[in-house]
Structure 1
Amino acid sequence: MDNLMRKLPIGIQTFEDIRRKNYLYVDKTALVWRMANLGKPYFLSRPRRFGKSLLLSTFKAYFEGKKELFEGLAIEKMETEWNEYPVLHLDLNAEKYDKPEKLKEILSSHLTQWEIQYGKGMDENTLSRRFEGIIRRAYEQTGSQVAVLIDEYDKPLLQAISQPKLLDDYRQTLKAFYGVLKSADPYLHFVFLTGVTKFAQVSVFSDLNQLNDISLDYSYATLCGITREELAATFEPEIATFGQRNQQSPEEVVAAMERNYDGYHFHPNGEGVFNPFSVLNAFSKLEISNYWFQTGTPTFLVELLQKSEYDLRTLLDGIEAPASSFTEYRMNANNPIPLIYQSGYLTIKDYDKEFQNYLLAFPNDEVRYGFINFLVPYYTPMKNNDQGFYIGKFVQELRSGDYESFLTRLEAFFADIPYELNDRTERHYQVIFYLVFKLMGQFTEAEVRSTRGRADAVVKTPKYIYVFEFKLKGTAEEALKQIDEKGYLIPYQSDQREVIKIGVEFSPESRNLSRWLVER
């Protein structure tokens, strides 16, 4: 088939549509069969736009016995019976949950549709009683146990996360509703809940203690997302077309995709996966861009970061954390890491078996620079539309060796900080330095550190290597002395480029650069 006629399933979340209308499909059905035949109640946490809805739609078609949809796929050789089961598919993704009644309305709407099919009991006057009655009658009327599929179980909770009263109301509603899945167990053949976040206090994970959380299981690490092998096998024509459009070899195309969209790991030893939404969009539009990050603004994450006063510098460089601290989000804990990880902005990069600590970091460049660019307006005077101007000028000046203009521009940058942002802690200004240099890393080799074992920032350009040390409580002379005494220049002694040392002092009174000294 001509690759220009191949249909990419961007925004298509229905398995039956993909198969009947000849969209490309990355075959995950071997894992679908494994789950369906080796267990019963499951929970899976994955970031948004990672294919959770399509996965549940695939299970729906499988449990409805639609064998014809699976022709040519891995499951065709694995399944021999193709039994049909009643399926209750609840999708909480589409609604805006801004009032207590919104959640109850959408739950009631789904229940009403199922009651049209299976009937309603006279004494079923609550959401949970109606749900339990439907499950029982579906079993009794069909003679088969029921498959329950719940998509984005946590969407109401995430939307209400900054409104404690509304959040508690949603939590109580869902506690009773999801609790039915335990009491109705004899009537259930399969239960699968998906979401972004595992909320520790919701009873689906306390009362429903038999639920198998496979979010970090090695066997299901590639259940959502696209592996490197799947990318090469499924999208060979798209890789060729992308390469022709961008003057790149197939190997260079895959390397660019890896830098920008790969790197998600859902088990320390599991295979990494690409972000499927960004991959599909890049092949469709024939260019690299921040497709996934542009689809949603994680404002609730920034609110959590600001409330917790979390040191962003440790977050941006990668952090170590035990599994217990990032796999469950506790609303009363001063820890934003679980939501940041589960939302897809951090991923597993390494694991220390001895101490059972995970290293979490940004998965790829799309997330790294998308997240930093999003944070900048909350910490600096830069708005989204002028970040490119500032950063571009900063980089150009250092490339040309004009460090005086760079420092003068940085001084003017701090002078533009609004008054309401000025009354901040020392850490706030350290974070601003940090964000500026991190953004420069998109265009030049810029490293910025939060530890004292290395210089505050190092910028490498084709002709120069700049070693910066900033003193918020000290002098420019002390900054230069520290560069020498701590041996910050040692890693660059064999480099052919000119090394320039810059010591900068920052005045707490003026909240700006006060003076700097340069040694070449």
Structure 2
Amino acid sequence: MVDLMRKLPIGIQTFSDIRTNGYLYVDKTALVWRIANTGKPYFLSRPRRFGKSLLLSTFEAYFEGRKELFTGLAIEQMETEWKKHPILHLDLNAEKYDSPDRLISILSNQLTQWEQIYGKGEDEVTVSSRFLGVIRRANEQTGMGVVVLVDEYDKPLLQSLTDSDLLEEYRKTLKAFYGVLKTADRYLRFVFLTGVTKFSQVSVFSDLNQLNDISMKPQYATICGMTKEELIATFLPELEQLGEANRLTFEETVEKMKALYDGYHFCEFAQGVFNPFSVLNVFDGYKFSNYWFQTGTPTFLVEILKESDYDLRLLLDGIEASVSSFAEYRVNSKNPIPLIYQSGYLTIKEYDERFRNYLLAFPNEEVKYGFINFLVPYYSSIQDNDQDFYIGKFIHELETGDVNSFMTRLEAFFADFPYELNDKTERHYQVVFYLVFKLMGQFTEAEVRSAYGRADAVVKTPKYIYVFEFKLNGSAEQALQQINDKGYLIPYQVDGRELVKVGVNFSAETRNIEKWIIES
């Protein structure tokens, strides 16, 4: 395999570095120019590692008037003046927020750096008054409108979600700090804030009511991430090499990339985009893997799911929701969906224009199976390093018709539960079954249902079709009878494969599978 020697900007978030050091770049500058020249204050919500920092760096280079960095890009034909503006760039991303003073300290440190350039007023004591003073003096000293760029404005809030007192302290600090942007409007040329989550209670979205939230606007849907056309145009040699390394045709390579990393929709009317972090990492080693998911485990999301007692089966199958129920996150709400959507684990898949309802679902296989695998240890006794072993054995046993071994292994998922997991409703045990069959679905045709009138699970292998029905504190005989009475096998009778019925009873007393019956 030939080394292409083309430079991939993995982990590089500075536009000038990419352009001066010859890294590959997906040209987003036409959208950058449009945003910069059609409005002033903007907000954009996107998941982590989706290119938000690079986008802000691109705005920074543009407003610095660095024309040489944009040679050969779309914006070169659009911009004629290349004016230099004073820029205040605040990055809240790479910090640990664990005390009330921590946020004040970080903001103060950044303000001090700006004050060394533009000076400080004697009566400016709070971070808010100092921020306003810096903006005003930067405008007066340069005669140009000030550009304010804030990267990950919500990082302090996300890190303090489980500490209500600390969260409130941060909320009040940021409310006052971001509120300056409305007061200072006359001195500003451009404002752009990015983050993962839109917190409805923070004043940047209440007091600063002129802020243009472009997170779900179709004309800006592809500003972060890359479209299929951009992927092929920019990375054609890498796609060809990836196919060669994995013995795939070009068409098969693109389809596999789509299945794993495409599918993010940030507007109901816009095309999907690929996750840029995963794409770059695939091309770096020519191996398909869960690159984005592995960089940040959603532990706090799982905790929120557990606290809210949310039915995971709804999450795994896709959720219908109005835009008001997922576009903003309310801290005191029991609804975990906005945070899960905005973090990138769910995306828009369909839109019912008549009722204005959205279908939210996993964007692709990387996120779907990464998320399900991550959930298993929280709902069963199986740990991370055991999951692949168990799922592989499950599939092998069903492919060879060894249902008894499959059921015996399934018992292990319920063995040695901690007490707090045992004292649950019927839903908990249904969720465990659900997770097992969903994980099997990435390797074979496995479906798991929760709707009335359908079998609990169906698994199709080359030789067999299995129909499972589960009961809690009933009997395996009742489960088997329900398969017959409801006609669950009827859709598969002309298939030609051997049909196998499996009735299972789960005992709440023993907290495990009590009995199963197999009937061909």
For the aligned pair, the TM-score class normalised by the smaller chain equals: over 0.9
State how 1:241-256 maps to structure 2 within 5 Å.
241-256=241-256
* 1:209-252 Cα deviation digits (max 9, x unpaired): 11011110000110100100000100001011111111111111
* 1:322-358 Cα deviation digits (max 9, x unpaired): 0000000001110000000000000000001111110
* SS at structure 2 position matched to 1:452: coil
Partner of 2:344: 344
Equivalences, count = 519
Partner of 2:177: 177
Alpha-carbon distance in structure 2 between the residues aligned to 1:239 and 1:400: 36
1:510 and 2:510 equivalent?
yes
Alpha-carbon distance in structure 1 between the residues aligned to 2:252 and 2:352: 33
Alpha-carbon distance in structure 2 between the residues aligned to 1:501 and 1:119: 78
Alpha-carbon distance in structure 2 between the residues aligned to 1:350 and 1:205: 27
Alpha-carbon distance in structure 2 between the residues aligned to 1:139 and 1:76: 27
Partner of 1:110: 110
Partner of 1:412: 412
Amino acid at match of 2:173: T
Alpha-carbon distance in structure 1 between the residues aligned to 2:420 and 2:316: 25
Higher mean displacement: 238-247 or 67-76: 238-247
State how 1:90-169 maps to structure 2 within 5 Å.
90-169=90-169
Return the offset for 1:315.
0.4
State how 1:480-519 maps to structure 2 within 5 Å.
480-519=480-519
Partner of 2:77: 77
* SS at structure 1 position matched to 2:222: coil
1:475 and 2:497 equivalent?
no
Alpha-carbon distance in structure 1 between the residues aligned to 2:239 and 2:274: 14
Return the offset for 1:3.
6.2
Partner of 2:442: 442
Return the offset for 1:393.
1.3
* 1:148-177 Cα deviation digits (max 9, x unpaired): 100000000000000111111111110000
Partner of 1:325: 325
* 1:119-175 Cα deviation digits (max 9, x unpaired): 111110110000000000011011111111000000000000001111111111100
Indicate if the aligned counterparts of 1:56 and 1:151 stay in contact, CA closer than 8 A: yes
* SS at structure 2 position matched to 1:4: coil
Alpha-carbon distance in structure 1 between the residues aligned to 2:182 and 2:411: 61
Amino acid at match of 1:456: D
Alpha-carbon distance in structure 1 between the residues aligned to 2:3 and 2:337: 42
Return the offset for 1:275.
0.3
Alpha-carbon distance in structure 2 between the residues aligned to 1:130 and 1:46: 29
Amino acid at match of 2:30: A
Amino acid at match of 2:271: E
Alpha-carbon distance in structure 1 between the residues aligned to 2:349 and 2:453: 22
State how 1:15-34 maps to structure 2 within 5 Å.
15-34=15-34
Alpha-carbon distance in structure 2 between the residues aligned to 1:56 and 1:237: 28
In the alignment, structure 2 segments of 5+ residues that lack a partner are none
Indicate if the aligned counterparts of 2:227 and 2:273 stay in contact, CA closer than 8 A: yes
Alpha-carbon distance in structure 2 between the residues aligned to 1:453 and 1:192: 51
Partner of 2:281: 281
Return the offset for 1:431.
0.7
State how 1:223-238 maps to structure 2 within 5 Å.
223-238=223-238
Identical residues among aligned pairs (%):
73
Alpha-carbon distance in structure 1 between the residues aligned to 2:487 and 2:115: 74
Indicate if the aligned counterparts of 1:447 and 1:459 stay in contact, CA closer than 8 A: yes
Partner of 2:292: 292
State how 1:259-274 maps to structure 2 within 5 Å.
259-274=259-274
Higher mean displacement: 19-28 or 421-430: 421-430
Indicate if the aligned counterparts of 2:447 and 2:457 stay in contact, CA closer than 8 A: yes
Higher mean displacement: 448-457 or 484-493: 484-493
Runs of 4+, deviation exceeding 3 Å: none
Partner of 1:372: 372
* SS at structure 2 position matched to 1:465: strand
In the alignment, structure 1 segments of 5+ residues that lack a partner are none
* SS at structure 1 position matched to 2:113: helix
Alpha-carbon distance in structure 2 between the residues aligned to 1:265 and 1:493: 38
Alignment TM-score, normalising by the size of structure 2: 0.98
Return the offset for 1:425.
1.6
Indicate if the aligned counterparts of 1:3 and 1:237 stay in contact, CA closer than 8 A: no
* SS at structure 1 position matched to 2:344: coil
Higher mean displacement: 424-433 or 144-153: 424-433
Alpha-carbon distance in structure 2 between the residues aligned to 1:269 and 1:487: 40
* 1:258-281 Cα deviation digits (max 9, x unpaired): 110000000112010000000000
* 1:303-329 Cα deviation digits (max 9, x unpaired): 110110000000000000000000000
Amino acid at match of 1:74: A
Return the offset for 1:498.
1.0
Indicate if the aligned counterparts of 2:381 and 2:415 stay in contact, CA closer than 8 A: no
Partner of 1:7: 7
Indicate if the aligned counterparts of 1:225 and 1:274 stay in contact, CA closer than 8 A: yes
Indicate if the aligned counterparts of 1:60 and 1:87 stay in contact, CA closer than 8 A: yes
Indicate if the aligned counterparts of 2:154 and 2:197 stay in contact, CA closer than 8 A: yes
Return the offset for 1:106.
1.1
* 1:459-484 Cα deviation digits (max 9, x unpaired): 11111110101011422222222222
* SS at structure 1 position matched to 2:197: coil
Alpha-carbon distance in structure 1 between the residues aligned to 2:11 and 2:382: 33
Indicate if the aligned counterparts of 1:3 and 1:238 stay in contact, CA closer than 8 A: no
Amino acid at match of 1:207: D
Alpha-carbon distance in structure 1 between the residues aligned to 2:475 and 2:420: 27
* 1:480-520 Cα deviation digits (max 9, x unpaired): 22222323223212212111111111112112111122221
Alpha-carbon distance in structure 2 between the residues aligned to 1:461 and 1:406: 14
* SS at structure 1 position matched to 2:458: strand
CA RMSD after TM alignment: 1.1
* SS at structure 2 position matched to 1:515: strand
Alignment TM-score, normalising by the size of structure 1: 0.98
* SS at structure 2 position matched to 1:385: helix
Alpha-carbon distance in structure 2 between the residues aligned to 1:6 and 1:477: 63
Alpha-carbon distance in structure 1 between the residues aligned to 2:314 and 2:187: 48
